[in-house]
Amino acid sequence: MTTRLRVAIIGTGFMGRMHAHAWRTAPRFFDLSPAPEAALLVGSDAARTDAAAAAFGIPEASDDWRAAIARDDIDIVDICTPGHTHAEIALAALSAGKHVLCEKPLANDVADADRMAAAAEDAASRGIVSMCGFSYRRTPALSLAKRLIDDGRVGEIRHVRAQYLQDWLTNPDAPFTWRLDRDRAGSGALGDIGAHSIDTAQWLAGSAITGVSATLRTFVASRPRLDERVGLGGHGAPGAPHERVTVDDAAAFTATFENGALGVFEATRMAAGHRNANRIEINGDRGSIAFDFSFMNELQFHDAQLPAGEQGFRRIDATEPEHPYAGAWWPAGHGLGYEHLFTHQSVDFVRAIAGGTAPQPGFADAARVQRVLAAVEASAADESRYTAVEGARS
């Protein structure tokens, strides 16, 4: 194996910036061999990509992702583009023998997700590693929750409650972006943030969702075109024509799990006052865990086996060296931030490549999330209908 893994990041937006930071940081805080190196940034506009590469500290830039994949000196292709491009890029990269990290959701529909999962399985037989970037799994507190659940500390799981609340579209004058276009984004709040909740819930519970009953809402039917001078935090261009919103603003659904648990999910971009409230609670017959990303270094844990007079949720500060990932960073009590999740993701991906193991979540796991998204949309089309998740055992 080479002493370095050269990474081509495809995408220059928010996620491209975050992944560039992660690749740069990972080998500085974790012992990685081979060490990753962000070697190439690829975007759709040459001038913007050159500027982004300079800002991100990446030595090369290109506006041709196919040429990047064809290069012999590129080992990892990191896909940070809108969902409608994921399948084409990932399939080409796997065929070229590149390891692939792909942002979530894996694809815009089940057919593409299945194609990607099949290609990843075939590539794995040739030693090629692939993973989908559900980054919240790498939060130390949530990883600790998974450890407690797997150790039986909550017992038989009965309830899963998940909310992902944002408010960046509350203002009807907030500008139209690609995330509001179904052809590019696949779905709205459901696929963008609800997919995180679905992945986290299935991972923590160790059980697949088998069916859903759902409702989707689009509260603002059209939005003004983006004023490039103002950016996403402002309004659309004054007097600009409106674009039709073709995705959901909010999703709500109940779910059944293979292990018998009942789930309640909510994902919205219309929850005023909530910038990025990603919450999950799991109740079992021996205890409960609760997590809110607004307090990302904390896990709430209730041990129902204690005497009644000692019971109740208690806060665990997940910053001790024995907590997942935390030992590589700061002294106990010095919390981590959102960017650390992507560093942990890069670390796990590189270690899987070095060890010849399958990282989690793989493309097959992400395709199962895609099936749940599809079932939610099918159920919402007829709100009285319970919809089984394709391929899941009821």
Two tokens, residue 145 = 């929750």
Residues sharing a CB contact under 8 Å with residue 6, sequence separation 6 or more, in sequence order: 36, 37, 39, 40, 73, 74, 75, 76
Q: Averaged over 180-191, what is the pLDDT?
A: 96
Same domain, 101 and 151: no
Q: Examine residue 347 and state whether it is found in any structural domain, yes or no.
A: no
Q: Examine residue 242 and state whether it is found in any structural domain, yes or no.
A: yes
**Higher-pLDDT residue of 394, 130:** 130
Same domain, 166 and 111: no
Pairwise CA distance, residues 29 & 47, whole Å: 32
Same domain, 284 and 145: yes
In CATH, what number is assigned to the domain containing residue 184? 3.30.360.10
What are the phi and psi torsion angles at 57 (to 5°)? 75, 30
Same domain, 78 and 171: no
CA 203, 204, 205, 211 torsion-angle sign: negative
Same domain, 14 and 106: yes
Q: Examine residue 192 and state whether it is found in any structural domain, yes or no.
A: yes
Bridge pairing between strands 277-284 and 262-268? unpaired
Same domain, 233 and 205: yes
Q: Examine residue 269 and state whether it is found in any structural domain, yes or no.
A: yes
Same domain, 193 and 130: no
Pairwise CA distance, residues 190 & 184, whole Å: 14
Q: Examine residue 176 and state whether it is found in any structural domain, yes or no.
A: yes
Same domain, 17 and 88: yes
What is the number of other CB atoms lying within 10 angstroms of the CB of residue 298? 17
Two tokens, residue 91 = 């399939």
Q: How many domains does the chain have?
A: 2
Confidence tier at 197 by pLDDT (50, 70, 90): very high
Residue in the structure block whose two tokens are 């607004």: 294
Q: Examine residue 50 and state whether it is found in any structural domain, yes or no.
A: yes
Q: Examine residue 191 and state whether it is found in any structural domain, yes or no.
A: yes
Same domain, 120 and 175: no
Q: Averaged over 197-214, what is the pLDDT?
A: 98
Contact 303, 309 (CB under 8 A): no
**Higher-pLDDT residue of 57, 391:** 57
Confidence tier at 236 by pLDDT (50, 70, 90): low
Contact 175, 236 (CB under 8 A): yes
Q: Averaged over 309-319, what is the pLDDT?
A: 97
Domain boundary among 103, 136, 169: 136
Residues sharing a CB contact under 8 Å with residue 269, sequence separation 6 or more, in sequence order: 166, 167, 168, 169, 170, 188, 189, 193, 249, 250
pLDDT for residue 2: 67
Confidence tier at 228 by pLDDT (50, 70, 90): low
The model carries a pTM of 0.94
Same domain, 195 and 108: no
Same domain, 247 and 217: yes
Q: Which domain holds residue 181?
A: 139-337+369-387
Share of the chain above pLDDT 90, in %: 92
How confident is the model over 101-160, as pLDDT tens digits?
Answer: 999 999 999 999 999 999 999 999 999 999 999 999 999 999 999 999 999 999 999 999
Domain boundary among 113, 136, 159: 136
Check pLDDT > 60 for residue 198. Answer: yes
Domain boundary among 87, 118, 136: 136
In CATH, what number is assigned to the domain containing residue 90? 3.40.50.720
Same domain, 108 and 183: no
Q: Examine residue 392 and state whether it is found in any structural domain, yes or no.
A: no
**Of 120, 89, 98, 12, which Cα lies nearest the Cα of 58?**
12
